[in-house]
Amino acid sequence: MLINDTNVKSFRMTKVFRENTERINACDFNKNGDLLISSSDDDNIVVYDCEAGLPKKPIPSKKYGCDMIRFTRSGEQALHCSMKVDDSIRYLSLSDSKYIRYYTGHTKKVRSLSVSPIDKSFLSASADRTVRVWDLRSALCQGLITTPGNPVVDYDPDGLVFGIGIDSQIIGLYDIRNHEKGPFEMLKYECEGDFEWTHLKFSPNGKMILVSTNTSLILLVDAFSGVLLHTFTGHQNTKNIPLESSFSPDSRYVFCGSTDGRIHIWRTADGEKLTTLTTDNSSDSIQTVQFNPKSFMLATASNNMIFWLPPVDDD
């Protein structure tokens, strides 16, 4: 199905999964789009079969908790950060629900995880004001960048550049092969209001950067010139939580949840709001919205996971 205004407006709630008792704090599709994984404040990891529309048996992480869940490139393992005991990152085999490796070094909560699209490296950003470069095959940190403020991080889709959002006002662009030399570009933004950057995300076409905040403000930036293209507003965030916005696979639309159970959709070309999707619970805080990379499907996460599909044509 084509990703266009008419079809995006047609999304409908198709399945509601009540596998969790507390907030789902993150979710991620694998690159093939046939699996979705989530982490929750109830210390459970859930994998969903997107083709069958069914959840698999939850994987508990009771001792350390789980947040920022991400598939590795192979889709056979996942990474998540800890919420209790320590600030380690944990590498989980999904085939046998056993941990392969732990990555230690951060001294405060990990705020951001990004997996390389081309190799076995990944990035972590922490409230200890550091960004660390890792290799999945080694527990030893491969690189360390100290930042003047709280960072968020993401790889570009080619895996050759990564961006660090620093202190909610600067984006530093780094060459992954020479990151120790510092950023090759520094982009600075001054926006009115008291807010914190919570997520940074390159568009699938690599031309834009999306910055989510803990308020009802999202920034869309040109990844090459650094020009602020659009600000997206109008979605409710009365709880000041880190709502995670995201792109459609063609980079033409931006999606974000809200604290009143709505999903807001904007066009990246002109910054105009296209539509708003509504759940059946106005008290639901939609923490994250993700578009399946391979099929016309949305996943939204609050305390429940919801799959959204276009209506079925009976003809």
Could you give the percent of the chain with pLDDT greater than 70? 99
Tens-place pLDDT, residues 239-269: 999 999 999 999 999 999 999 999 999 999 9
**68 domain residue, yes or no:** no
Q: Are 27 and 19 in contact (CB under 8 A)?
A: no
Tens-place pLDDT, residues 161-184: 999 999 999 999 999 999 999 999
Q: Among residues 185, 198, 202, which one has the least CA distance to residue 288? A: 198
**240 domain residue, yes or no:** yes
Q: Are 22 and 285 in contact (CB under 8 A)?
A: no
Residue 284 in this model has a pLDDT that exceeds 90:
no
Q: Residue 121's beta-bridge partner residues?
A: 135
Tens-place pLDDT, residues 83-122: 999 999 999 999 999 999 999 999 999 999 999 999 999 9
Q: Quickly list H helices, the chain.
A: 5-9
Residue 315 in this model has a pLDDT that exceeds 70:
no
**147 domain residue, yes or no:** yes
**41 domain residue, yes or no:** no
Residue 314 in this model has a pLDDT that exceeds 70:
no
Token pair belonging to 119 = 């190799």
Domain range enclosing 286? 5-24+107-308
The total number of structural domains in the chain stands at: 1
**167 domain residue, yes or no:** yes
Task: Report CA-CA distances (Å) from 273 to 56, 70, 191, 192, 233.
Answer: 35, 29, 20, 21, 9
Per-residue model confidence (pLDDT) at position 194:
87
CATH number of the domain at 189, please.
2.130.10.10
Residue 214 in this model has a pLDDT that exceeds 80:
yes
